[in-house]
């Protein structure tokens, strides 16, 4: 049985591709030492009480103001700023976990997009560490892809007795092709690689990290959450710097914050 080439085993990649731009109103007597979504969060918080003069020295800077927001739990102001991450090298099984976070806006690679040279797979870390397990995993993935290809070929050739299509011949052929691909997809493993563009406000991203970067979560999901956190800390450090990444005895990473009260 042919083995899955190393080039078709994809690694996790998380990239920041967009973030909030803030345009402060010229007629408001206020300024801050931050920009983008962080400045917008402070602006929203101060707008609630028109506290433009920064009457409290302890919250005069953007970092201090947002730290106070985290401490008291007034997280609604964090919903104004957003970050968009491009996730690649994510298995379809893990993508479902991301999609469960309903406050995200997500665009996923079409499940009908299967490269003709083989569907890439994501090998779980615990499998990759064991050569025998990795060999078994890749053989199973290759077998599943071969079964997918065989079924697709049979359906497209009409050998499976597919449903008849009305209308012009070209339209019928197109419909039969789509139906065949949709049916064959059921045989592709959950390890098949997918890609997502995910936009979330800062509060939604904080919830995702808090819920998915703990030691109680599957390794691949946790690794994704930690990778997202690092991008978010770069984009908005005043909003995400309270999360600290730690290492467990098995060498895997987790993240936690003293300001997270629920996940």
**What confidence tier does 254 reach under pLDDT thresholds 50, 70, 90?**
very high
Q: Are the C-beta atoms of 47 and 170 separated by less than 8 Å? A: no
- Res. 90: pLDDT tops 60: yes
Tell me how crowded residue 12 is: count the other CB atoms within 10 A of its CB: 18
Residue 100 labelled as part of a binding site: yes
Q: Which of 17, 20, 12 is nearest to 202 (CA)?
A: 20
pLDDT, tens only, 24-79: 999 999 999 999 999 999 999 999 999 999 999 999 999 999 999 999 999 999 99
Identify whether 212 is a catalytic site residue: yes
Average pLDDT on 162-178 reads 62
Instruction: Give dist(CA 179, CA 196) in Å, integer.
Output: 24
Annotated ligand binding at 108? The verdict is: yes
Q: Cα–Cα distance between 182 and 193 in angstroms, integer?
A: 17
pLDDT for residue 165 is more than 50 = no
Express each pLDDT in 99-127 by its tens digit.
999 999 999 998 777 665 667 899 998 89
Question: Is 62 annotated as contributing to ligand binding?
Answer: no
The per-residue pLDDT for 169 is 66
* Cβ neighbours for 13, distance < 8 A, ≥ 6 positions apart: 86, 87, 88, 89
Looking at residue 167, what is its pLDDT? Answer: 53
Structure tokens at 71: 């401490």
Active-site hit among 19, 67, 212, 222: 212
Tell me whether residue 97 is annotated as binding.
Answer: yes
Model pLDDT for residues 202-216, shown as the tens digit of each residue: 999 999 999 999 999
- For residue 239, is pLDDT > 60? yes
Rounded-to-5 percentages of helix, strand, coil across the chain: 45, 15, 40
Mean pLDDT, all residues of the chain: 90
177 annotated binding-site participant: no
| Mean pLDDT score, 83-88 | 98
Band of the pLDDT at 245, cuts 50, 70, 90? very high
222-239 in b/e burial notation, b at 16+ Cβ within 10 A?
Answer: bbbbbbbbbbbbebbebb
Query: For position 1, what pLDDT does the model report?
Result: 38
Averaged pLDDT for residues 244-254: 96
**Which residues contact residue 211 at a Cβ distance below 8 angstroms, ignoring those fewer than 6 apart?**
217, 225, 263
Q: Map residue 86 onto helix, strand or coil.
A: strand
pLDDT of residue 116: 58
Higher pLDDT, 113 or 188: 188
Read off the tokens for 47.
Answer: 């707008």
Q: Is 111 annotated as a binding residue?
A: yes
């Amino acid at each position: 049985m042919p083995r899955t080439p190393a080039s078709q085993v994809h690694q996790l990649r998380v990239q920041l591709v967009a973030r909030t731009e803030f345009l402060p109103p010229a007629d408001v007597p206020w300024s801050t030492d931050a920009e983008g979504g962080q400045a917008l969060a402070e602006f929203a918080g101060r707008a609630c009480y028109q506290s433009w003069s920064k009457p409290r020295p302890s919250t005069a800077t953007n970092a201090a103001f947002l730290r106070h927001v985290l401490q008291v739990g007034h997280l609604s102001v964090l919903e104004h700023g957003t970050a968009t991450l491009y996730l690649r090298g994510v298995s379809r099984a893990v993508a479902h976990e991301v999609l469960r976070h309903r406050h995200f806006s997500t665009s996923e690679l079409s499940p009908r997009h299967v490269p003709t040279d083989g569907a890439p797979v994501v090998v779980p870390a615990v499998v990759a560490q064991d050569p025998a397990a990795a060999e078994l995993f890749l053989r199973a993935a290759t077998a599943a892809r071969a079964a997918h290809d065989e079924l697709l070929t049979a359906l497209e050739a009409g050998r499976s007795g597919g449903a008849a299509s009305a209308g012009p011949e070209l339209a019928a052929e197109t419909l039969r092709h789509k139906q065949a691909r949709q049916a064959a997809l059921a045989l592709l493993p959950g390890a098949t690689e997918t890609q997502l563009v995910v936009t979330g406000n800062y509060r939604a991203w904080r919830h995702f990290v808090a819920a998915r970067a703990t030691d109680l979560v599957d390794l691949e999901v946790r690794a994704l959450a930690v990778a997202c956190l690092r991008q978010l800390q770069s984009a908005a450090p005043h909003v995400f710097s309270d999360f600290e990444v730690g290492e467990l005895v098995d060498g895997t990473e987790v993240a936690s914050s003293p300001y997270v009260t629920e996940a």
